[in-house]
Chains A and B, each alone.
Chain A
């Protein structure tokens, strides 16, 4: 059999996205054949598909891109946010494999095939996204190949739901490692829950050298290294089961300046005694407006999270009531932004202008702050890069 025939046979195999609510979207396979399961989510960024699928925060998930054409500019090493593809499948309207952008090293479809990632194209991603928005992020099975309905149903059944899962310990580094930067003058210990490379670059650009430790490291392991600051990284899964990380963080607060991003923000908030919850379909994209309540400026941010920190009730009610008035957004009075925590007063520093969720928090009595969104962008706008410098300043003033 010549390779052409084999390819044609492969192409004719069925490919589909089957959701746990019973709906099924059929398309064409690309990348690798196989069947995978996980939580289906959607991302609305129009560029940066490779950064998205290599972001460890997508571990256990399968990404639907709302932008219909994916793969236009090929794949290249610099865009990798980690050493592997974490999104278990890629769902698109139209997949492209051209490698003619000056930065391209390979076509996107070939790149996925080489990494064994299942892709389905020809999907009405708009309909699929609307379904996820109305029904919530749910489990799904994406397959390319001959799988019976029963097989697909059995696989779906065997897939654990996202809530309650500790995925951070699965994707973090196994052994500690360190990186020194040209302008590095401060030592930051990074607690790795599935860190993106751009975050490490962001710390480096701000003048920090890093020692990266696995998620399960204790406060003693960390303090032994005599860090000038500790960074709590982004990562996949639910913050609720990460009691070990919360305990570690509680022992660090007040002893060393702490900065957290995304899952790291949720862990810091839990350490302060706040609660987290699962959002219906999460925030994943590169255009989310966030109000910085200190500067009164709006930052366009990159986001990727399915869980959030619960707002105090009075504030949540006020934000809900303020919608659609004559002036759209009025900053809540400072008294309502203040939170009493186990480590003294803290204040909500950033709010999401789409849905009023907490985007940032700052402690007043211990040196610690965190944001829910991604100042390192990649993909996305660079409006919030100042946060890395803020962290360095916090270290220097401590």
Chain B
């Protein structure tokens, strides 16, 4: 299926200001998309409120609007430009949300603008909690279980369908005040009781806890002939509970057997088809229970994301470029592989190296911000390192943070073990210090739930460091 000829002018929405929680990835993806669409002979109308981007340079689009990214402004631009299509999947959440609002305001229908890449229904299914849960149910997978309760008695009845530990969140309170994680029935009852009284409407949300489960992401591409490929698998070293943007991540996944990996691959194919992302890339996140191998689906982004930027750089598979080509009608087997040029883009990259991504925080610049890492992303950038072993890639990545880490010698081992049980920017420096002091890996595993494979690698790094300590370069001649 070659390039579509029924559309000539395509609007692209950028992602606006670079904010904490982004790594500039949407300028990267948007710029690539603009280039590809121009190359294919389309007129490209670009809207982005951020002039400090590469994509808003004059050569990257037929016409560029540096204007606010809101419905009235973009509607006016659509009225003036009359694009045939709107490509919303390359400008991050900002572009996706704006496209949804334009559709809901009737603007896209009024001016007969088609959404390409992902249509309105697919975006809704991926983004709306209930719709997503139903879609995942239909294909025999599941999201974390949850339910509502207004009393301890009701909550205990709901326990029949939920298993401990459970996260209890009072409805409509600020900062989760009055909630908590219950590991046994006693604490469950008391947290629910507190939560019900803390909530202005006397209600709590009970959610299955997947804290400590391992987190994996798969980058998926689909074309309009329904060919689907996995570009890359990514494993988060930090277990569930830390935003993937704040986790140290590794590509490809290191600790899964082929059977376990194929289960995630099968699930990803089913998910992208059921959600109905017609063309382009999506990122799907899974939590896997390391003991039972149970899988829950955490979320799906029906667009290119920070992880796709990492996956592109890690594998050489240019996700944004290819997503743009797929959106205008090509199929994966018609697009040449950027690296080989002799083979098609319809394949799954296999690599002979390891890639580690480490986030970089700037808590020193925000003294009042709580430095604990949670499901809300706080990093301001990231580095990516490539090595032939995990140890090599990990050490390169740690060094690339350009931090002078100083350890508090006076800190007690117990104190440090307590500190690493909460994810923080210093977590890995503390783990290394604990290993230097000879702390048992089992204790570190118990405190962090980090997969023992990674801890074993850290142990080897420290063992080598200690063998080298005190020696001179000349000693090696």
Residues of A within 8 A of B (CB): 44-48, 51, 66-69, 72-73, 76, 78-79, 93-94, 96, 98, 100-103, 125-126, 129, 285-289, 291, 296-298, 300, 323-324, 327-329, 353-354, 377-382
Query: Does the CB pair B333–A329 fall under 8 Å?
Result: yes
Measured CB to CB, the closest approach of chain A to B243, in angstroms, equals 25
Given contacts A67-B352, A381-B265, A382-B266, contact A72 B333 (CB under 8 A): no
Pairs of residues from A and B, 4 with the lowest C-beta to C-beta distance, nearest first: A48-B258, A379-B258, A47-B258, A287-B348
Instruction: Report chain B residues within 8 Å CB of A67.
Output: 252, 350-352
Partner of B352, one of A101, A102, A125, A291: A125
Given contacts A100-B453, A381-B265, contact A353 B333 (CB under 8 A): yes
* Further contacts, 8 of them, CB under 8 A, given A287-B347, A328-B336: A47-B261, A93-B389, A103-B259, A125-B352, A286-B348, A297-B226, A297-B227, A300-B348
Query: Does the CB pair B388–A93 fall under 8 Å?
Result: yes
Query: Does the CB pair B452–A46 fall under 8 Å?
Result: no
Query: Does the CB pair B259–A79 fall under 8 Å?
Result: yes
Partner of B336, one of A100, A324, A377: A324
For A48, A68, A377, the residue with the greatest tally of chain B CB atoms inside 10 Å of its CB is A68
Query: Does the CB pair A78–B334 fall under 8 Å?
Result: no
In the complex, A94→B389 CA distance in Å?
8
Residue of A nearest to B336 (CB): A328
In the complex, A46→B255 CA distance in Å?
11
Partner of A289, one of B259, B346, B390, B456: B346
B343 interface residue per 8 A CB criterion = yes
Query: Does the CB pair B343–A353 fall under 8 Å?
Result: yes
How many B residues, CB 8 Å from partner?
Answer: 49
Query: Does the CB pair B350–A297 fall under 8 Å?
Result: no
Measured CB to CB, the closest approach of chain A to B349, in angstroms, equals 7
B262 interface residue per 8 A CB criterion = yes
B341 interface residue per 8 A CB criterion = yes
Query: Does the CB pair B333–A289 fall under 8 Å?
Result: yes
Instruction: Report chain B residues within 8 Å CB of A101.
Output: 255-257, 260
Instruction: Report chain A residues within 8 Å CB of B65.
Output: none
In the complex, A103→B257 CA distance in Å?
8
Interface positions of B from 104 to 137, Cβ below 8 Å from A = none
B472 interface residue per 8 A CB criterion = no
Query: Does the CB pair B388–A66 fall under 8 Å?
Result: no
In the complex, A94→B257 CA distance in Å?
17
Instruction: Report chain B residues within 8 Å CB of A72.
Output: 254-255, 453
Measured CB to CB, the closest approach of chain B to A359, in angstroms, equals 13
Query: Does the CB pair A46–B347 fall under 8 Å?
Result: no
Residues of B within 8 A of A (CB): 2, 225-227, 229-230, 252, 254-262, 265-266, 290-293, 330, 332-336, 341-354, 388-390, 451-453, 456
Measured CB to CB, the closest approach of chain A to B49, in angstroms, equals 36
Measured CB to CB, the closest approach of chain B to A247, in angstroms, equals 37
Measured CB to CB, the closest approach of chain B to A153, in angstroms, equals 30
Partner of B332, one of A45, A298, A324, A382: A298
In the complex, A298→B2 CA distance in Å?
16
Residue of B nearest to A103 (CB): B257
Residue of A nearest to B2 (CB): A327
Residue of B nearest to A377 (CB): B262
Instruction: Report chain A residues within 8 Å CB of B255.
Output: 72-73, 101
For B252, B265, B453, the residue with the greatest tally of chain A CB atoms inside 10 Å of its CB is B453
Query: Does the CB pair A69–B293 fall under 8 Å?
Result: no
In the complex, A45→B348 CA distance in Å?
10
Query: Does the CB pair B342–A51 fall under 8 Å?
Result: no
Residue of B nearest to A285 (CB): B350
Query: Does the CB pair B347–A288 fall under 8 Å?
Result: yes
Given contacts A291-B333, A298-B332, A328-B336, contact A68 B262 (CB under 8 A): no
Measured CB to CB, the closest approach of chain A to B316, in angstroms, equals 13
In the complex, A341→B325 CA distance in Å?
41
Measured CB to CB, the closest approach of chain B to A79, in angstroms, equals 7
In the complex, A101→B255 CA distance in Å?
7
Query: Does the CB pair A324–B347 fall under 8 Å?
Result: no
Partner of B342, one of A48, A285, A323: A323
In the complex, A16→B352 CA distance in Å?
20
In the complex, A51→B352 CA distance in Å?
19
Query: Does the CB pair A69–B254 fall under 8 Å?
Result: yes
Query: Does the CB pair B258–A103 fall under 8 Å?
Result: no
Given contacts A69-B389, A286-B350, A382-B262, contact A324 B333 (CB under 8 A): no
Q: Can you pick out 11 interface pairs between chain A and chain B where the beta carbons lie within 8 Å of each other?
A: A47-B256, A48-B258, A68-B353, A72-B255, A73-B260, A78-B259, A96-B453, A100-B451, A297-B227, A300-B347, A323-B342
Instruction: Report chain A residues within 8 Å CB of B388.
Output: 68, 93, 126
Residue of A nearest to B266 (CB): A382
Measured CB to CB, the closest approach of chain B to A96, in angstroms, equals 8
